[in-house]
Structure 1
Amino acid sequence: MLTLKVDSVQLEFDRRKILQDVYLNCTQGQIIGLLGRNGSGKSSLLKIIFGTLTPGYKYVGIDGEYIKKGYINNRIAYLPQHNYLPKGIKISTLAKMLVDEYYWDEFTELPIYQNHYNKTASQLSGGELRKLETMMVVYNKADFILLDEPFTHISPIQTEEFKPILKRCAQRKGIIVTDHQYYNVLDISDHIILLNSGCTKHINHVDELVAYGYLSATNQ
């Protein structure tokens, strides 16, 4: 099993420290839930791990090998909050480029693929495109998967369908997921990390989320 290690990340915007004491490990077979209030740096941290945001300093490595750009050689895949699929290429062509052969049969049986494989991204509605992009990242060839707000744009019914897929894919991949719907993150995660004042806090019990001010006692 490979392990993704992220350490000593330092990020500033306009001399304001966003991230300053960040440490986390994610091993294949694990889902790591990343929580934090708006502006805490969750999305920035995922971009730094993926390699599309350059901080003042970072260490990102897989089994001791330094990873400068996670997207090179399919080491790390990333679901951003915005759409990422190119508009003019057929979904079936993109799927062959992105989807892990191990999961190919399972992926191509998904209704969202069956209904749209012969179309391009520009022919899909916003909701259809978001769901397809999410599935393509989850079933990606990469060793590690980063998911930014995967639950926010889907219905509660779709969320319950999505969770078992995530758990199944996490048997072979390491997954880091963040979402404002914290209860869904808590439901699927093997370990929770809270970003608080630019630092990572490793959470062992939901009471600690209250102690750090992320949740109120009534939210438990």
Structure 2
Amino acid sequence: MKLKLDNLSCGYGQRKVLENISLEINGGEVIGLLGANGCGKTTLIKSILGLLPTQGGEVLLDGKNIKRWTSAQIARVVGYIPQMHTPPFPFEVLDVVLMGRTAHINPFASPSSKDVKIAEQALEMLNITYLRNRIYTEISGGERQLVLIARALAQEPKILIMDEPTSSLDFGNQIKVLSHVKQLAGLNLAILMSCHFPEHAFLYSNRVVLLNEGRILHSGTPGETITAERLKTLYGVEVEIVSVINRLNKELKVCIPSGYFRPEIDLAQISATERNYALANY
């Protein structure tokens, strides 16, 4: 399924936050959405989900405008994974995942054995079946985020929208969550993921969209889109984008504030080994 934003404008009341946003996301793609705090990433996500009325343009799913769709109709197609949250009641993990079946269950009906099976399969897909009977409020932050992904998968969506899914996680849990995101794209899901870290976009995105001052600054592959100049425009800081070689001999790109380098070192003119040494010691 394809998600298309056609000249979309959105905001709050009479205040316009974003305008003329055009974007297409196809199954199997991970689109990274980068921009500073307040640039409109969450506003865009809320508008796509129908939580905010659009001020212009269209949100199209396989060519169909969803403006008049009910929230249940949207939920059958689009799964939403919010930033870290804590529910007010101590539900078991399986019950939290079962909440993803709400759009498929008639009002006042109870989840069927089929719904329970789908929820269990979502847990199994993410390798967290061991959490099945644990209390959601008593598990770690990384585990909670994986449970939220499982809840979204239980919706059986064609599109996943993730609003800074790693914002409150430690380094290890960030990598675990993002690794699962890449795997989900392999199931032909279309994934739109907002994030703050350019390195995440380099590692896990097929394409990147940069939001700045209410418009798309640039979009394209991570390598061509994420540049030091554009990051300065987005975040107001000078950075260096350098390549390092990991233990699997794979080249990775990282962003480091320019002030961390000695001026006499020209990173483009030294070997990968010397570059790694410079990064480690300067």
Tell me if TM exceeds 0.5. yes
For residue 8 of structure 1, report the CA deviation from its aligned partner. 2.1
Query: 1:72 maps to what in 2?
Result: 72
For residue 158 of structure 1, report the CA deviation from its aligned partner. 2.0
Larger Rg: 2
Instruction: Give, in whole Å, the separation in 2 of the partners of 1:191 and 1:19.
Output: 20
Query: For residue 159 of structure 1, what is the amino acid of its counterpart?
Result: Q
Alignment of 1:43-122 (within 5 A): 43-68=42-67, 69=69, 71-73=71-73, 74-81=76-83, 83=85, 87=89, 89-96=91-98, 98=100, 105=121, 107-108=123-124, 110=126, 112-114=128-130, 116-122=131-137
Question: Unpaired segments of 5 or more residues in structure 2?
Answer: 102-114, 242-282
Q: Does 1:147 align with 2:162?
A: yes
Q: Does 1:136 align with 2:157?
A: no
Could you list the per-position Cα deviations for residues 67-101 of structure 1 after superposition, in whole angstroms to 9, with x for gaps in the alignment? 23585231111122252767364322343453897
Stretch of structure 1 that moved more, 129-138 or 196-205? 129-138
Contact 1:178 1:185 in 2 (8 A): no
Query: 2:182 maps to what in 1?
Result: 167
Alignment of 1:5-24 (within 5 A): 5-13=4-12, 16-24=15-23
For residue 135 of structure 1, report the CA deviation from its aligned partner. 4.0
Paired residues in the alignment total: 218
Query: For residue 203 of structure 1, what is the amino acid of its counterpart?
Result: G
> What is the percentage of aligned positions where both structures have the same residue?
24
Instruction: Give, in whole Å, the separation in 1 of the partners of 2:93 and 2:198.
Output: 31
Stretch of structure 1 that moved more, 87-96 or 139-148? 87-96
Q: 1:16 to 1:71 in 2, by over 3 A?
A: closer
For residue 66 of structure 1, report the CA deviation from its aligned partner. 1.4
Q: 1:190 to 1:125 in 2, by over 3 A?
A: closer
Q: What TM-score, normalized by structure 2, do the two folds share?
A: 0.65
Q: 1:39 to 1:186 in 2, by over 3 A?
A: same
Query: For residue 214 of structure 1, what is the amino acid of its counterpart?
Result: L
For residue 123 of structure 1, report the CA deviation from its aligned partner. 4.5
Contact 2:31 2:209 in 1 (8 A): yes
Instruction: Give, in whole Å, the separation in 1 of the partners of 2:9 and 2:125.
Output: 42
Instruction: Give, in whole Å, the separation in 1 of the partners of 2:24 and 2:39.
Output: 19
Contact 1:41 1:195 in 2 (8 A): yes
Contact 1:33 1:191 in 2 (8 A): yes
Q: What TM-score, normalized by structure 1, do the two folds share?
A: 0.82
Instruction: Give, in whole Å, the separation in 2 of the partners of 1:25 and 1:98.
Output: 25
Q: Does 1:186 align with 2:205?
A: no
Query: For residue 188 of structure 1, what is the amino acid of its counterpart?
Result: Y
Q: Alpha carbon RMSD of aligned pairs, Å?
A: 3.1
Instruction: Give, in whole Å, the separation in 1 of the partners of 2:185 and 2:127.
Output: 21
Stretch of structure 1 that moved more, 164-173 or 188-197? 164-173
Instruction: Give, in whole Å, the separation in 1 of the partners of 2:83 and 2:122.
Output: 25
Query: For residue 57 of structure 1, what is the amino acid of its counterpart?
Result: G
Instruction: Give, in whole Å, the separation in 1 of the partners of 2:185 and 2:119.
Output: 12
